[in-house]
Amino acid sequence: MPVHVTDCSFGYRRGVRILDGLSLSLDAGCSVLLGPNGAGKSTLLGLVASALRPEAGHIELDGLDTRNKKDLRAYRRKVGWLPQQVRPVPGLRVREQAAYAGWLKGMSRSEAWERSQQAIEKVGLGPLSDRRSAELSGGQLRRLGIAQTLVHDAQLVLMDEPTAGLDPVQRGVFRELIGELKSFSSFVVSTHQTEDLAEIYDSVVLLDRGRVRHQGPIDSFLALAPEDVSSERRAEAAYAGIVTGEV
Protein backbone atom coordinates (compact mmCIF):
# COMPACT_ATOMS: atom_id res chain seq x y z
CA MET A 1 0.00 0.00 0.00
CA PRO A 2 2.85 2.51 -0.10
CA VAL A 3 1.89 6.10 -0.87
CA HIS A 4 4.55 7.70 -3.04
CA VAL A 5 5.09 11.45 -2.71
CA THR A 6 7.44 12.50 -5.51
CA ASP A 7 9.02 15.97 -5.91
CA CYS A 8 5.95 17.67 -4.44
CA SER A 9 5.79 21.43 -3.95
CA PHE A 10 3.00 23.46 -2.40
CA GLY A 11 2.48 26.94 -0.99
CA TYR A 12 -0.53 28.85 0.29
CA ARG A 13 0.80 32.17 -1.01
CA ARG A 14 2.68 32.87 -4.20
CA GLY A 15 6.41 32.74 -3.60
CA VAL A 16 6.08 31.14 -0.14
CA ARG A 17 6.33 27.36 -0.34
CA ILE A 18 5.56 25.10 2.61
CA LEU A 19 6.87 22.05 0.74
CA ASP A 20 9.48 22.31 -2.00
CA GLY A 21 10.39 19.17 -3.95
CA LEU A 22 9.42 16.80 -1.12
CA SER A 23 9.78 13.07 -1.82
CA LEU A 24 8.99 10.17 0.52
CA SER A 25 7.08 6.89 0.65
CA LEU A 26 4.63 5.98 3.41
CA ASP A 27 4.55 2.22 3.84
CA ALA A 28 1.85 -0.03 5.24
CA GLY A 29 1.44 -0.07 8.99
CA CYS A 30 1.09 2.78 11.44
CA SER A 31 3.35 5.81 10.90
CA VAL A 32 3.67 8.89 13.07
CA LEU A 33 4.38 12.28 11.50
CA LEU A 34 6.35 14.56 13.83
CA GLY A 35 7.65 18.09 13.48
CA PRO A 36 7.44 21.60 14.96
CA ASN A 37 4.67 24.04 14.11
CA GLY A 38 4.98 25.15 10.50
CA ALA A 39 6.94 22.06 9.48
CA GLY A 40 4.37 21.15 6.81
CA LYS A 41 2.66 18.21 8.53
CA SER A 42 -0.94 19.34 7.97
CA THR A 43 -0.09 20.41 4.44
CA LEU A 44 1.38 16.99 3.66
CA LEU A 45 -1.70 15.23 5.04
CA GLY A 46 -3.97 17.53 3.02
CA LEU A 47 -2.03 16.69 -0.13
CA VAL A 48 -2.11 12.93 0.52
CA ALA A 49 -5.84 13.21 1.26
CA SER A 50 -6.22 15.01 -2.11
CA ALA A 51 -7.89 17.94 -0.32
CA LEU A 52 -4.95 20.01 -1.61
CA ARG A 53 -3.44 19.82 -5.08
CA PRO A 54 0.35 19.95 -5.44
CA GLU A 55 1.79 22.76 -7.54
CA ALA A 56 4.36 20.30 -8.85
CA GLY A 57 5.11 16.62 -8.37
CA HIS A 58 2.89 13.60 -7.88
CA ILE A 59 1.15 11.65 -5.12
CA GLU A 60 0.28 8.06 -6.00
CA LEU A 61 -1.42 5.15 -4.30
CA ASP A 62 -1.85 1.81 -6.08
CA GLY A 63 -1.03 3.51 -9.38
CA LEU A 64 -3.65 6.24 -8.85
CA ASP A 65 -2.37 9.81 -9.16
CA THR A 66 -4.14 12.72 -7.40
CA ARG A 67 -3.27 15.06 -10.29
CA ASN A 68 -5.15 12.83 -12.74
CA LYS A 69 -8.85 13.73 -12.61
CA LYS A 70 -9.78 10.27 -13.89
CA ASP A 71 -8.05 8.69 -10.86
CA LEU A 72 -9.33 11.05 -8.21
CA ARG A 73 -12.58 9.33 -7.26
CA ALA A 74 -10.99 5.89 -6.95
CA TYR A 75 -8.07 7.38 -5.03
CA ARG A 76 -10.38 9.05 -2.52
CA ARG A 77 -12.23 5.78 -1.93
CA LYS A 78 -8.95 4.30 -0.71
CA VAL A 79 -8.06 7.18 1.64
CA GLY A 80 -9.80 8.42 4.79
CA TRP A 81 -8.95 11.74 6.42
CA LEU A 82 -9.55 12.88 9.98
CA PRO A 83 -8.82 16.64 10.18
CA GLN A 84 -7.98 18.43 13.44
CA GLN A 85 -11.58 19.46 14.05
CA VAL A 86 -14.40 16.90 13.88
CA ARG A 87 -17.75 18.67 13.84
CA PRO A 88 -21.22 17.19 14.26
CA VAL A 89 -23.50 17.57 11.26
CA PRO A 90 -26.59 19.47 12.47
CA GLY A 91 -29.63 17.24 12.88
CA LEU A 92 -27.84 13.95 12.22
CA ARG A 93 -27.47 11.06 14.63
CA VAL A 94 -24.23 9.12 15.07
CA ARG A 95 -25.00 6.37 12.58
CA GLU A 96 -26.49 8.85 10.12
CA GLN A 97 -23.35 11.00 10.18
CA ALA A 98 -21.14 7.96 9.58
CA ALA A 99 -23.39 6.87 6.69
CA TYR A 100 -23.35 10.39 5.26
CA ALA A 101 -19.55 10.26 5.13
CA GLY A 102 -19.73 7.02 3.15
CA TRP A 103 -22.24 8.53 0.72
CA LEU A 104 -19.91 11.49 0.17
CA LYS A 105 -17.21 8.98 -0.80
CA GLY A 106 -19.42 7.65 -3.60
CA MET A 107 -21.18 4.75 -1.88
CA SER A 108 -24.85 4.12 -2.51
CA ARG A 109 -27.16 5.15 0.32
CA SER A 110 -28.03 1.56 1.17
CA GLU A 111 -24.40 0.44 1.20
CA ALA A 112 -23.33 3.45 3.27
CA TRP A 113 -26.11 2.79 5.76
CA GLU A 114 -25.16 -0.88 6.12
CA ARG A 115 -21.44 -0.15 6.52
CA SER A 116 -22.05 2.69 8.97
CA GLN A 117 -23.16 0.35 11.73
CA GLN A 118 -20.03 -1.78 11.30
CA ALA A 119 -17.84 1.32 11.41
CA ILE A 120 -19.29 2.80 14.58
CA GLU A 121 -19.10 -0.58 16.30
CA LYS A 122 -15.39 -0.81 15.43
CA VAL A 123 -14.76 2.43 17.32
CA GLY A 124 -16.98 1.52 20.27
CA LEU A 125 -19.93 3.81 19.46
CA GLY A 126 -22.46 1.10 18.66
CA PRO A 127 -24.57 1.78 21.78
CA LEU A 128 -24.72 5.48 20.82
CA SER A 129 -25.80 4.96 17.21
CA ASP A 130 -29.13 6.77 17.74
CA ARG A 131 -27.72 9.66 19.77
CA ARG A 132 -27.47 13.03 18.04
CA SER A 133 -23.85 13.63 17.11
CA ALA A 134 -24.08 17.13 18.59
CA GLU A 135 -24.55 15.50 22.01
CA LEU A 136 -21.26 13.56 21.90
CA SER A 137 -18.27 14.44 24.05
CA GLY A 138 -15.03 15.60 22.45
CA GLY A 139 -13.48 12.13 22.71
CA GLN A 140 -16.59 10.50 21.28
CA LEU A 141 -16.59 12.95 18.37
CA ARG A 142 -13.00 11.94 17.57
CA ARG A 143 -14.11 8.31 17.49
CA LEU A 144 -17.01 9.22 15.21
CA GLY A 145 -14.50 10.97 12.96
CA ILE A 146 -12.48 7.76 12.78
CA ALA A 147 -15.65 5.78 12.01
CA GLN A 148 -16.34 8.14 9.12
CA THR A 149 -12.98 7.20 7.61
CA LEU A 150 -13.73 3.47 8.00
CA VAL A 151 -17.19 3.32 6.41
CA HIS A 152 -15.75 3.02 2.91
CA ASP A 153 -13.01 0.55 3.96
CA ALA A 154 -10.18 3.05 3.51
CA GLN A 155 -6.81 1.40 2.95
CA LEU A 156 -5.09 4.43 4.41
CA VAL A 157 -6.37 6.63 7.24
CA LEU A 158 -4.80 10.06 7.79
CA MET A 159 -5.20 11.76 11.18
CA ASP A 160 -4.18 15.33 11.98
CA GLU A 161 -3.54 15.85 15.72
CA PRO A 162 -6.23 13.34 16.80
CA THR A 163 -5.25 13.46 20.50
CA ALA A 164 -4.97 17.25 20.84
CA GLY A 165 -7.00 18.35 23.86
CA LEU A 166 -7.66 14.82 25.09
CA ASP A 167 -6.97 13.94 28.72
CA PRO A 168 -4.71 10.97 29.64
CA VAL A 169 -7.67 8.58 29.91
CA GLN A 170 -8.99 9.58 26.49
CA ARG A 171 -5.50 9.22 24.99
CA GLY A 172 -5.38 5.71 26.43
CA VAL A 173 -8.69 4.91 24.72
CA PHE A 174 -7.29 6.28 21.45
CA ARG A 175 -4.14 4.15 21.83
CA GLU A 176 -6.21 1.01 22.33
CA LEU A 177 -8.48 1.90 19.43
CA ILE A 178 -5.61 2.32 16.97
CA GLY A 179 -4.13 -0.96 18.16
CA GLU A 180 -7.40 -2.70 17.32
CA LEU A 181 -7.84 -0.98 13.93
CA LYS A 182 -4.30 -1.53 12.62
CA SER A 183 -5.39 -4.89 11.23
CA PHE A 184 -8.02 -3.18 9.04
CA SER A 185 -6.16 -0.13 7.68
CA SER A 186 -2.82 1.65 7.61
CA PHE A 187 -2.52 4.92 9.51
CA VAL A 188 -0.48 8.11 9.24
CA VAL A 189 -0.93 10.24 12.36
CA SER A 190 0.36 13.78 12.81
CA THR A 191 1.04 14.70 16.44
CA HIS A 192 3.14 16.81 18.78
CA GLN A 193 2.87 14.25 21.57
CA THR A 194 5.73 11.78 21.91
CA GLU A 195 4.63 9.89 25.02
CA ASP A 196 3.02 6.89 23.32
CA LEU A 197 5.11 6.49 20.18
CA ALA A 198 6.62 3.11 20.98
CA GLU A 199 3.24 1.68 22.00
CA ILE A 200 1.34 2.72 18.87
CA TYR A 201 3.53 3.29 15.83
CA ASP A 202 5.71 1.18 13.57
CA SER A 203 7.66 4.00 11.91
CA VAL A 204 8.47 7.70 12.24
CA VAL A 205 8.65 10.55 9.73
CA LEU A 206 10.01 13.82 11.11
CA LEU A 207 9.45 16.97 9.06
CA ASP A 208 11.17 20.27 9.70
CA ARG A 209 10.64 23.33 7.47
CA GLY A 210 9.12 21.16 4.76
CA ARG A 211 11.94 18.63 4.61
CA VAL A 212 12.28 15.07 5.88
CA ARG A 213 14.83 15.11 8.69
CA HIS A 214 14.33 11.48 9.70
CA GLN A 215 12.38 8.48 8.46
CA GLY A 216 12.60 4.92 9.69
CA PRO A 217 11.38 2.27 12.14
CA ILE A 218 10.41 3.38 15.63
CA ASP A 219 13.36 1.51 17.15
CA SER A 220 15.92 3.36 15.05
CA PHE A 221 14.31 6.67 16.01
CA LEU A 222 14.40 5.92 19.74
CA ALA A 223 18.03 4.77 19.44
CA LEU A 224 18.98 8.37 18.61
CA ALA A 225 18.27 9.45 22.19
CA PRO A 226 21.24 9.71 24.60
CA GLU A 227 21.89 6.53 26.55
CA ASP A 228 21.36 8.19 29.93
CA VAL A 229 17.78 9.26 29.08
CA SER A 230 14.98 7.30 30.76
CA SER A 231 12.76 5.11 28.58
CA GLU A 232 9.82 7.47 29.16
CA ARG A 233 11.79 10.40 27.67
CA ARG A 234 13.59 8.69 24.80
CA ALA A 235 11.16 9.75 22.07
CA GLU A 236 11.16 13.34 23.31
CA ALA A 237 14.97 13.40 23.47
CA ALA A 238 15.37 11.87 20.00
CA TYR A 239 12.93 14.39 18.55
CA ALA A 240 14.70 17.32 20.19
CA GLY A 241 18.09 16.08 19.06
CA ILE A 242 17.05 15.89 15.40
CA VAL A 243 15.31 19.28 15.35
CA THR A 244 18.22 21.06 17.05
CA GLY A 245 20.80 19.29 14.89
CA GLU A 246 22.50 17.56 17.82
CA VAL A 247 22.09 14.08 16.27
CB atoms within 10 A of CB 19: 25
Q: Which amino acid is at 69?
A: K
pLDDT at 155: 87
Query: What average pLDDT does this structure show over 188-203?
Result: 86
Domains in the chain, start-ordered, CATH in brackets? 3-244 (3.40.50.300)
d(CA 5, CA 196): 27
Residues 89/90/95/100 CA torsion (nearest 10 deg): -50
First to last CA, the chain: 31
Beta-carbon contacts of residue 131 (< 8 Å; ≥ 6 apart): 93, 94
Tens-place pLDDT, residues 14-69: 767 899 999 999 888 899 999 988 899 999 999 999 999 999 999 999 999 999 99
Return the C-alpha torsion angle 224, 22, 2, 80, nearest 10: 100
Bridge partners for 214 per DSSP: 206
pLDDT above 90: percentage of residues in the chain: 50
Q: Are 18 and 10 in contact (CB under 8 A)?
A: yes
| pLDDT per residue as tens digits for the range 224-239 | 998 888 888 888 999 8
What is the chain's mean pLDDT, rounded?
88
- In this predicted structure, what is the pLDDT of residue 246? 66
